[in-house]
Amino acid sequence: MNELTTLENKIDALTKMGEGLISRPDEIDDRPSLWLSTGETADLMGIAASTLHRWRAEGSGPPCVKLRGALRYERAAVEAWMTTR
C-alpha cells in the first residue's frame, strides 16, 4: 500500500465516523452564533453600536463578557433582555 492509498483510507474512515455531523462548512454559517460581537448585537437589536457602548458604560443594557480579550454578548441573554424592554 502506498502512502497516498493509506491517506485516502484514513480520510474515508474519518468521513464515515463523522456521518451525521456537520459535513459542509456552509452548514456552520447557517447556525446562529451563540456569542455575538458588539456590532452583531447592535444589528440584532436594531440599534447603533455606540448605543451599546454607552449602555455598557452606564451599567445598563444586555449583559456582556470578555472572551479572549473581546467583548461578547450571549445571543440568548440579549434576546431575553430585549423581551423585558
**Each residue of 55-82: pLDDT tens digit?**
999 999 999 998 888 999 999 999 999 9
Local structure of 72: helix, strand or coil: strand
pLDDT value at residue 75: 93
pLDDT value at residue 56: 93
pLDDT value at residue 8: 76
pTM of the model: 0.62
Report whether pLDDT(11) > 80.
no
Output DSSP code: residue 32. Answer: P
Please give the Cα distance from 43 to 70 (Å, whole number).
17
Amino acid letter at 70?
A
Closest CA to 62 of 51, 46, 73, 47: 73
What average pLDDT does this structure show over 25-32? Answer: 57
